[in-house]
């Protein structure tokens, strides 16, 4: 399952130019090792259909879980297509999609670091965290720019509540800080808090 491919024949690789050199350059003719064809240094033609399939399954399971927070999917048109027991099982097991994302991310991050640096002790931590920040924070900010106004408008799926009672709009400050500082799941651990999140 390990394939060896030649990097770009001349100069630095295109993806490094697109990333503004965040990872430095790949020497001409350098060897890169790709596991299942996954490589951040290669073109999209080498994407792994297996990994993409697992991503699709994970996305579907997480979406079903989140839709079930607002809508009773067992009583929805979806139940007309599939037996109610299957819909309930898919919704009840939606959290496994998040676990799948963690496993896939760990695999891809480790594989890409091995491709780029050769071995894990050689990983440049400053470059690694700059890249992770660039991948995580922009979509996170976009999500907050959409979710917070919807919650402030009082849309039930996006509002915050405690024991079934709505919390003031100012509570979004706490929620937003918890998301930006990555402790939102700790805040969410109480089942009666953030029922719409």
Domain ranges, ordered by start, for the chain: 1-47, 48-123, 125-197
Looking at residue 36, the DSSP 8-state letter turns out to be: T
Long-range Cβ contact pairs of 61-66 (< 8 A, separation 24 or more): 61/90, 61/93, 61/94, 61/96, 61/97, 61/100, 62/94, 62/97, 62/98, 62/101, 64/90, 64/91, 64/94, 65/91, 65/94, 65/95, 65/97, 66/94
On average, the pLDDT of the chain sits at 74
Give tens-digit pLDDT for 111-147: 999 999 999 999 999 999 999 999 999 999 999 999 8
pLDDT of residue 163: 66
């Amino acid at each position: 399952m390990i394939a060896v491919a030649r990097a770009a024949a001349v100069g630095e690789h295109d993806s490094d130019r697109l990333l503004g050199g965040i990872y430095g350059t790949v020497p001409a003719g350098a060897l890169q090792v790709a596991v299942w064809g996954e490589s951040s240094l290669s073109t999209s033609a080498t994407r792994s259909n297996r990994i993409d399939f697992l991503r699709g399954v994970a996305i579907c399971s997480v979406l079903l879980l989140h839709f079930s927070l607002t809508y009773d999917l067992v009583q929805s048109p979806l139940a007309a297509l599939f037996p109610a027991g299957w819909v309930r099982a898919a919704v009840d097991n939606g959290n496994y999609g998040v676990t799948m994302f963690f496993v896939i991310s760990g695999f891809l991050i480790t594989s890409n670091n091995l491709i780029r640096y050769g071995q894990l002790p050689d990983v440049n931590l400053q470059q690694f965290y700059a890249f992770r920040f660039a991948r995580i924070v922009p979509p996170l900010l976009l999500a907050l720019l959409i979710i917070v106004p919807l919650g402030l408008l009082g849309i039930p799926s996006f509002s915050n509540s405690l024991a079934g009672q709505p919390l003031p709009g100012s509570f979004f400050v706490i929620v937003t800080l918890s998301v930006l500082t990555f402790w939102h799941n700790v805040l969410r651990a109480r089942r009666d808090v953030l029922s719409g999140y």
